[in-house]
């Protein structure tokens, strides 16, 4: 079988891109696979979608989910059809990127909302937009978590601190800082940005990523109490002293108000309604066939299309990457705080956001620690203080020494952290309807997980996880489950054994690839009718149209494809 796989380009930060990268070697063992990505972003063995000749392939396969960078796939699916591996039911972010009028509103926005979601989603979008006036300003430049109280000349940060950069994202940054000897400042903006070694006293200029994350993360390593702190009994973790910070936005410099208080969570009306706005009809109704991770989504697709539709349910994939060494040694090697070495360690992957149930998790952890003080939590992902103020909640619950956030880490370090865990945590609600890659990452390391009892996760075997339901008892159920597992190592080992069996027998990437090929062998070929090929003119210009004409002419004798 020859497959054109349309996906996320290499190097892009994307959970679905990571999924594709792990699947691809197994898929290529039994099929010929060519990669296609958005025009202008191709590298290595990738090709531009502008060069796609669909009739040269048995199947067009899209790896698509709720990511803005997947917006380019929508017109392709509308014109060419194909098989979609649909990772999410809710495609809110993709839709806003593909059709900006949805966010702008007006007649065109209303028309597109009706096309992508029908009357009900049009109504929800209209109501949500009322909470987001057209003249509403973007988020302002301000401090977030991780800062000590303001002083006359500036402000100290702790080991980690954050600055909300505001909107639109600025293109440059200047920090006037004092960084003592032995300390290193690491700056991140959704990924590593810059590094500065102490001693340093002065202004440090840094270019920012155009269109990058709207939060600047500061991490200071090598912190040690100074003689002055020891003499005065000052127990604070002092990273660097910031005298001033300026950003350049649209050619103008803007200064940070260091005396500001960290903001609470803030979302626009549209963002608050995102889980009620799938906005997915172009994808769901124009594709020819689907691969999905759960029966819940298969049922949603069939109900929306109201027609017989080829669909196959395929597990998310996992590797065999488990280790049998001492987890405590791994924790030491990772440099986790000393109290975490002998703890019952919980690890949760992903950015710190409210819909990942971080609030109930912290509440449940605080409750469980009344009797099991060895319970501790590591959150592996960047903080999103405007969505969920982790530090404020940890302080309120007395969890400062029981919750550690690493910020964004590379995949290999995330694997090490999962390997060091006693239990992974992967709670969700509301959800976008897909399978969480974090659960299967944990399975790859042989770790069981605490998950939300949702219909989208019913395919996960009961003996591999513990489930908690959303609702009034969620916090109590989390606390009870954590306490039980912390005191029953034999049961935890049996769960981990079940995880390994599940990977070996059902969800290893080799099994997933085989299921893909089995399904696509009976799926219809992409429609690729002449009129649909020419529809690409509107979306990709004359180069794409020329390629379409060449393809039609080359396949003119191929009967039955029109």
pLDDT in tens, 475-488: 999 999 999 999 99
HSE-up (13 A, CA, CB side) for residue 38 = 18
Domain span at residue 288 reads 2-91+280-317+515-554
At residue 272, does pLDDT exceed 60?
yes
Domain count, the chain: 3
Whether 311 and 455 map to the same domain: the answer is no
Condensed to tens digits (0 to 9), the pLDDT of residues 230-245 reads: 665 566 778 999 999 9
pLDDT tens for 116-140 read 999 999 988 888 877 554 433 445 6
Comparing 337 with 292, the larger pLDDT belongs to 292
Q: Tell me whether residue 374 is in a domain.
A: yes
pLDDT value for 558: 43
Check pLDDT > 70 for residue 561: no
Contacts with 194 (C-beta within 8 Å, 6 or more apart), sequence order = 186, 187, 206
Which pLDDT score is estimated for 127?
Answer: 84
Q: How many Å apart are CA 105 and CA 103, to the nearest integer?
A: 6
Highest-confidence segment of 37-46, 290-299, 469-478: 290-299
Residue 548 has pLDDT above 50, yes or no: no
Whether residue 216 has pLDDT greater than 90: no
pLDDT tens digits along 418-473: 999 999 999 998 888 888 889 999 999 999 999 999 999 999 999 999 999 988 89
269 in a domain, yes or no? no
CATH number of the domain enclosing 331? 3.40.50.2000
Task: Kindly state whether residue 536 falls inside one of the protein's structural domains.
Answer: yes
499 with 523, same domain: the answer is no
CATH classification at residue 163: 2.60.120
Domain-embedded: residue 167: yes
Same domain as 471, residue 333: yes
The overall pTM is greater than 0.75: no
| Cβ 211 vs Cβ 191: under 8 Å | no
Claim to verify: residue 301 and residue 341 sit in the same structural domain: no
My answer on whether 245 and 164 are in the same domain is yes
Does residue 433 share a domain with residue 406?
yes
Q: Does 129 map to a domain?
A: no
As a whole number of angstroms, the distance between CA 82 and CA 85 comes to: 10
Same domain, 331 and 350: yes
Furthest CA-CA distance within the chain: 89
Q: 71 and 147 in one domain?
A: no
Task: Of 9-18, 353-362, 493-502, give the range with the top mean pLDDT.
Answer: 493-502
The encoded tokens of residue 123 equal: 């109504």
pLDDT given at position 268: 53
464 lies in the same domain as 357: yes
Let me know: does 179 contact 196? Beta carbons within 8 Å: yes
What is the residue-averaged pLDDT of the chain? 86
DSSP of 75-98: HHHHHH--EEEE--S--HHHHHHH
Instruction: Provide the pLDDT for residue 516.
Output: 98
CATH of the domain at 36: 3.40.50
Residue 110 lies in a domain: no
Same domain? For 66 and 208 the reply is no
Tell me: do 299 and 347 sit in the same domain: no
Among 217, 239, 255, the domain boundary falls at 255
Mean pLDDT value across residues 482-507: 97
Q: Is pLDDT at 542 greater than 50 in this prediction? A: no
For the chain, the straight-line distance linking the first and the last C-alpha, in angstroms and rounded, comes to 22
- Pair (382, 312) in one structural domain: no
Residue carrying the six token digits 């949760």: 348
**Helix, strand, coil fractions of the chain, as percent rounded to 5:** 40, 20, 40
In a domain, 390, yes or no: yes
Note whether residue 102 is domain-resident: no
């Amino acid at each position: 079988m020859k497959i054109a796989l349309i996906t996320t380009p290499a190097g892009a930060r994307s959970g679905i891109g990571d999924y594709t990268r792990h699947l691809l070697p197994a898929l290529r063992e039994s099929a010929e696979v060519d990669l296609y990505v958005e025009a202008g972003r191709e590298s290595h063995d990738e090709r531009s979608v502008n060069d796609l000749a669909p009739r040269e392939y048995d199947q067009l396969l899209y790896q698509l989910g709720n990511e803005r960078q997947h917006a380019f796939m929508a017109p392709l699916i509308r014109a060419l059809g194909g098989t979609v591996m649909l990772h999410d039911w809710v495609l809110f972010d993709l839709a806003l990127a593909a059709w900006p009028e949805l966010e702008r509103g007006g007649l065109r926005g209303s028309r597109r909302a009706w096309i992508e979601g029908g009357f009900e989603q049009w109504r929800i979008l209209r109501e949500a937009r009322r909470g987001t006036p057209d003249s509403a300003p973007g988020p302002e430049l301000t401090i977030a978590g991780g800062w000590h109280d303001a002083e006359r000349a500036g402000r100290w940060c702790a080991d980690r601190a954050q600055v909300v950069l505001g909107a639109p994202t600025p293109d440059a940054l200047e920090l006037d800082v004092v960084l003592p000897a032995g300390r290193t400042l690491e700056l991140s903006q959704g990924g590593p940005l810059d590094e500065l070694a102490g001693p340093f006293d002065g202004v440090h200029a840094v270019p920012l990523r155009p269109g990058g994350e709207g939060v600047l993360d500061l991490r200071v390593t090598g912190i040690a109490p100074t003689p002055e702190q020891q003499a005065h009994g000052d127990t604070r973790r002092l990273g660097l002293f910031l005298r001033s910070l300026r950003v350049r936005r649209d050619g103008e410099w803007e200064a940070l108000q260091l005396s500001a208080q960290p903001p609470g969570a803030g979302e626009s009306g549209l963002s608050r309604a995102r889980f009620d706005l799938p906005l997915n009809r172009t994808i769901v109704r124009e594709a020819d066939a689907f691969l999905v991770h759960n029966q819940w989504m298969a049922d949603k697709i069939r109900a929306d299309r109201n027609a017989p539709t080829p669909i196959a349910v395929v597990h998310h994939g996992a590797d065999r990457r488990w280790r049998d060494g001492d987890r405590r040694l791994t924790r030491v090697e990772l440099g986790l705080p000393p109290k975490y070495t002998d703890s019952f360690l919980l690890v949760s992957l992903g950015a710190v956001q409210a819909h990942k149930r971080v609030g109930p998790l912290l509440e449940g952890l605080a409750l469980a620690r009344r009797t099991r003080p060895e319970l501790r939590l590591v959150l592996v992902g960047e903080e999103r203080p405007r969505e969920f103020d982790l530090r404020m909640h940890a302080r309120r619950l007395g969890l400062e020494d029981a919750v550690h956030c690493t910020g964004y880490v590379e995949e290999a370090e995330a694997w090490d952290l999962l390997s060091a865990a006693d239990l992974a945590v992967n709670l969700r609600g509301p959800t976008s309807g897909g399978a969480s890659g974090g659960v299967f990452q944990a399975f790859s390391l042989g770790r069981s997980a605490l998950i939300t009892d949702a219909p989208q996760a019913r395919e996960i075997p009961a003996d591999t996880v513990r489930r908690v339901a959303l609702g009034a008892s969620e916090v109590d159920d989390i606390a009870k489950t954590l306490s039980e597992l912390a005191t029953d190592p034999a049961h935890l080992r049996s769960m981990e054994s079940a995880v390994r069996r599940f990977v070996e027998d059902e969800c290893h990437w080799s099994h997933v690839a085989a299921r893909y090929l089995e399904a696509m062998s009976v799926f219809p070929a992409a429609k690729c009718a002449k009129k649909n090929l020419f529809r690409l003119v509107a979306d990709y210009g004359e180069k794409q149209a020329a390629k379409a004409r060449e393809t039609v002419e080359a396949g003119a004798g191929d009967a039955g494809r029109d």
